[in-house]
Amino acid sequence: MPSSHDLFVKGFLSNLTEAIDFFDGSLPKSITNLLHLDKLELTKETFIGKDHDESRTDLLYKIPLKSGSSAYIYLLFEHKSYYDPKIFTQLLEYLSKIYNWQIENQENLTVVIPFVFYHGEKGWDLGENFLDNFPVNSIPEEFLKFIPNFGIQLLELKSKGKAFQTRNLALRLYLRMIQIIRDIPEDFKIHLKEIYTSLREEKNFAKRIEILRNLLEYLSKARNDAENYSEKEITEGIEEEYMNFLEKIREEGKIEGKMEGKLEGEMKGKIESKLETARNMKDLGLSMDIIQKSVGLSEIELRENGIL
């Protein structure tokens, strides 16, 4: 299950404005100078392995080149909020599936850049190439060519390091919140107030609401003591604005809740209709393969409802 950090990061980097500014500020200029970053697209592909397991990468972007040709590159975004020595083998699996997918769907293979965004408590010491994880000094040189080496583009956001530099206020505040989220309570209060104060820079009221809502949702899920950070000492000087924002969020939440309930009811009705069709088809002696393809329900859904 995705962590609160994963959901937050994938949420704001699924917004193309934030994603473009994020990569513009974190990729080397030697790379961004070759890319039409403003034409970045977020793909929705899933990749099927040999054992038929479905795998969705964290985020996969498609970016055209400035060369004027029809060429483009893929940018594979992988987020890690904790230290994971398996990161390179995970990326290797993703890369293999993406390249297999390219072979099946494209005329030529296209470059895939693995991008790792890391903000774990332990410092990054895994290198920036797969080969860095091997005891190279003890491996005869003749064998090195057999290692499927590849590099990564790494962004490590350290809790005590510099803040991410960007003109995009939403992105700046989101990344700053990630940076301070593990601070001790005394430091966290100070930094959180700085974030709330910076929110004044956003002149669009609707955008302010969106940013604050995202920050509060992340805070509530990422810290066990989240309820301690609505005190007046944090919102002093911006209290009136802050409370207005909260009230607006609550109002929108009621509207969204009603809409979600309506959509959920409609969805249940559609599924029940499909299940009834599946039962009738089964009574007629049709095969499960035909039934599954006709009604568009998964094997699990059919089994859970007693049809398989």
Is residue 163 in a domain? no
Is residue 189 in a domain? no
Segment 202-210 mean pLDDT: 85
Domain boundary among 156, 184, 207: 156
Asked if pLDDT for residue 36 goes beyond 90, the answer is yes
Tell me which DSSP letter residue 81 carries.
Answer: S
Is residue 73 in a domain? yes
Q: Where are the alpha helices (DSSP H) in 50-204?
A: 87-105, 141-144, 169-180, 185-198
Q: For residue 138, give its domain range.
A: 1-156
Tell me the residue length of the chain: 308
Q: Are 256 and 124 in a shared domain?
A: no
For 130, residues 6+ apart whose C-beta sits below 8 A from its C-beta are: 88, 92, 147, 148, 149, 150, 151
Is residue 239 in a domain? no
Distance CA 130, CA 87 (A): 9
Which amino acid belongs to residue 3?
S
Q: Are 150 and 273 in a shared domain?
A: no
* pLDDT for the residue numbered 45: 60
For 261, counting Cβ atoms within 10 Å of its Cβ (0-12 exposed, 13-18 middle, 19+ buried), the class is: exposed
* pLDDT for the residue numbered 72: 83
Q: In degrees, to the nearest 5, what angle opens at C-alpha 193 toward C-alphas 251 and 188?
A: 110
Q: Are 123 and 270 in a shared domain?
A: no
Q: Are 4 and 137 in a shared domain?
A: yes
Tell me which DSSP letter residue 74 carries.
Answer: E
Which amino acid belongs to residue 144?
L
* pLDDT for the residue numbered 274: 77
Q: Are 26 and 148 in a shared domain?
A: yes
Domain boundary among 105, 135, 156: 156
Q: How many CB atoms lie within 10 A of CB 192?
A: 20
User: Which percentage of the chain shows pLDDT scores above 90?
Assistant: 51
Q: Are 126 and 259 in a shared domain?
A: no
Q: Worst-scoring range by mean pLDDT, 16-20, 50-54, 71-75, 253-257?
A: 50-54
Q: pLDDT by residue (tens digit) across 268-288?
A: 566 677 788 888 778 777 777
C-beta of residue 114 within 8 angstroms of C-beta of residue 95: yes
Going by pLDDT thresholds of 50, 70 and 90, the confidence category of residue 304 is low
- State pTM to two decimals: 0.74
* pLDDT for the residue numbered 163: 92
For 83, residues 6+ apart whose C-beta sits below 8 A from its C-beta are: 120, 121, 122
Domain boundary among 129, 156, 183: 156
Q: Are 152 and 256 in a shared domain?
A: no
Q: In degrees, to the nearest 5, what angle opens at C-alpha 44 toward C-alphas 21 and 100?
A: 110
Which amino acid belongs to residue 212?
L
* pLDDT for the residue numbered 254: 55
Is residue 25 in a domain? yes
Q: Which residue has the higher pLDDT, 69 or 181?
A: 181
* pLDDT for the residue numbered 56: 47
Q: Worst-scoring range by mean pLDDT, 113-117, 236-240, 287-291?
A: 236-240
Going by pLDDT thresholds of 50, 70 and 90, the confidence category of residue 209 is confident
Q: pLDDT by residue (tens digit) across 142-200?
A: 999 999 999 999 999 999 999 999 999 999 999 999 999 999 999 999 999 899 889 88
Is residue 113 in a domain? yes
Asked if pLDDT for residue 91 goes beyond 90, the answer is yes
Distance CA 104, CA 96 (A): 12
Domains of the chain: total: 2
* pLDDT for the residue numbered 57: 53
Is residue 151 in a domain? yes
Q: pLDDT by residue (tens digit) across 118-137?
A: 999 999 999 999 999 999 88
Q: pLDDT by residue (tens digit) across 51-68?
A: 444 444 579 999 999 987
* pLDDT for the residue numbered 47: 54
Asked if pLDDT for residue 50 goes beyond 50, the answer is no
* pLDDT for the residue numbered 277: 83
Distance CA 287, CA 294 (A): 11
* pLDDT for the residue numbered 288: 76
Give 50's strand partners.
none
Distance CA 138, CA 207 (A): 55
3-state secondary structure at position 154: strand
Alpha-carbon separation of residue 173 from 8, 126, 190, 210 (angstroms) = 12, 28, 14, 12
Q: Are 151 and 4 in a shared domain?
A: yes
Tell me which DSSP letter residue 134 carries.
Answer: S
User: Which percentage of the chain shows pLDDT scores above 70?
Assistant: 77
Q: Are 6 and 149 in a shared domain?
A: yes
Q: Are 151 and 255 in a shared domain?
A: no
Segment 230-244 mean pLDDT: 58
Q: Are 36 and 147 in a shared domain?
A: yes
* pLDDT for the residue numbered 3: 82
* pLDDT for the residue numbered 255: 46
Going by pLDDT thresholds of 50, 70 and 90, the confidence category of residue 2 is low
Alpha-carbon separation of residue 271 from 205, 274, 303 (angstroms) = 39, 5, 14
Is residue 222 in a domain? no
